[in-house]
Copies of this chain bind each other. A is one copy, B any other.
Amino acid sequence: MTPRGRRPVGSDTRAAILASARDLFAEVGYERASIRGIARRAGVDAALVHHYFGTKDELLAAAVDVPVDIGAVAEAAFEDRARAGEVLIRSVLAIWEVPEFRSRFLGLVRAAVTHPGAASMLREAIVRGPLRDVTRRIDLPAAQLRAELAATHIIGLMMGRHVLQIEPLASATPDELARAIGPALQRYLTEPDLVV
């Protein structure tokens, strides 16, 4: 018999922990959500949360999981440093062509502008995920700000293309956009004389 308020171990438990994590991150934000609080909400022991997901950082990554390895995307972008900006935006645009990824990300943005807690969750997910992956490859001063300038340009592009759907931007091909935007990102990522 399962103890009162405890769920059986297995894939249901894993899903219950993830759901509780998403709820609590969105309600109170990343900083104030605790593994203990998430465990309580899921009706499991905190040790089980650690067992399935490791650290709070890793649980966050799983909770907002878009099944794309951004570390690999960043690595590929910087293989040819002189083309990092264009390769990066090409990868991002290719990812967005997949409706499932796009809708997952739009759902996060929607939550972020509506709930401050969700904004904190999305901020941490971006800062600890894609931003860190890109930042660590920038071998220049103000690496984090540079990565953020590139990231916000990309987020704005997504807003214009998929939320506001402004034409001709929304109908432009990924190739057209990559050639137009690549150099702007390139400058943020690799131009030494960027004044920041």
Contacts and interface: CB of A to CB of B under 8 A. Distances in A.
A60 to B, nearest CB: 14
Question: Interface SS of chain A: helix, strand, loop or mixed?
Answer: helix
Interface string A180-196: 11011001100000111
Contacts of A169: 145, 148-149, 152
A149 B181 contact: yes
A76 interface: no
A159 B176 CA distance: 24
Contacts of A149: 169, 180-181
Contacts of A112: 163-164
B166 A148 contact: yes
A168 B156 contact: no
Instruction: Please tell me how many copies of the chain the complex holds.
Output: 2
Which of A112, A131, A159, A181: most chain B CB closer than 10 A?
Answer: A159
Interface in A144-158: 144-145, 148-149, 151-158
A122 B157 contact: no
A106 to B, nearest CB: 7
A187 to B, nearest CB: 7
Contact of A165 (B119, B142, B145): B119
A23 B21 CA distance: 35
Contacts of A160: 148, 151-152, 155
A119 B166 contact: no
Interface string A58-78: 000000000000000000000
